[in-house]
Amino acid sequence: SQQGEEDPQALSIQEGENATMNCSYKTSINNLQWYRQNSGRGLVHLILIRSNEREKHSGRLRVTLDTSKKSSSLLITASRAADTASYFCATDANTGNQFYFGTGTSLTVIP
């Protein structure tokens, strides 16, 4: 399976703290994306990082990519209660345009 793995599976933090989630994958990729999903809803695209990029920022989000380790991390700074959701990384196989999702991290931000 090309599905990646994320850790931790669940994370609970206080509002204002930073949250870090990690994603590891198995095959070479072109792109890695992070998505957010509120319970029972569709996915919202957060950020895309290409294989030749090492770090990317978007607002309170910071994503890093280490292709040598086949891993990525998502950092959410100054977390808010509204950030409570599940976060998934998704990777494309080098040879196709399908995206495969990691196992996800369930983030709870306590007000």
Cα distances (angstroms) measured from residue 68 to each of 52, 53, 72, 84, 109: 11, 12, 11, 31, 32
**Number of shown-chain residues binding other proteins (CB under 8 A):** 21
CB 59, CB 80: distance < 8 Å: no
Name residues contacting other proteins, limited to 26-55 (CB under 8 A): 33, 35, 40-45, 47-48
Q: Between residues 15 and 61, which has the closer beta carbon with respect to other proteins? A: 61
Please report where in the chains the tokens 């996915």 appear, as a residue.
Answer: 43
Q: Is 57 in the site for other proteins (CB under 8 A)?
A: no
Q: Is 99 in the site for other proteins (CB under 8 A)?
A: yes
Q: Is 97 in the site for other proteins (CB under 8 A)?
A: yes
Closest by CA position to 72, among listed 42, 106, 29, 38: 29
Q: Which residues of the shown chain bind other proteins in the complex (CB under 8 A)?
A: 3, 33, 35, 40-45, 47-48, 88, 97-104, 106
